[in-house]
Amino acid sequence: KPEHFGFITGKYSIRFRTLSDFAEQTETVAVFAVHICRSGAWTPPWLDDRFYSFADGLGIPYETVNCPERAWNPARISFSEQVNFWMA
């Protein structure tokens, strides 16, 4: 929600768009970049395949930056590795 970003919006002129903003737009909007984030703390490792399928399904070129692959097999990893997976 926009109110969650007050620490940024108070410093910079940022306008959060809604889907209705785009529906009402009569001119073409050029989009140069889209940032998609997979946070290990928010996303369980067993859903990584769905994340990558989503990114691949966009059908546009993309670059993966600092997003390590996590092979989730809880029967074969230590507790410290589990914690690391959650934070990667």
- Return d(Cα 53, Cα 15) in angstroms, integer: 30
**pLDDT above 80 for 25:** no
Mean pLDDT of the chain: 81
**pLDDT above 80 for 88:** no
Among candidate residues 9, 1, 81, 7, the one with its CA nearest the CA of residue 45? 81
Place of tokens 């620490």: 7
Residue type, 3: E
Residue 53 has what pLDDT?
93
- Please write the tens of the pLDDT for every residue from 41-70: 778 888 888 989 999 998 888 888 888 888
* Both tokens assigned to 44: 């369980």
Whole-prediction pTM: 0.54
* Percent of the chain scoring above 90 in pLDDT: 6
Contacts of 69 (CB under 8 A, 6+ apart): 48
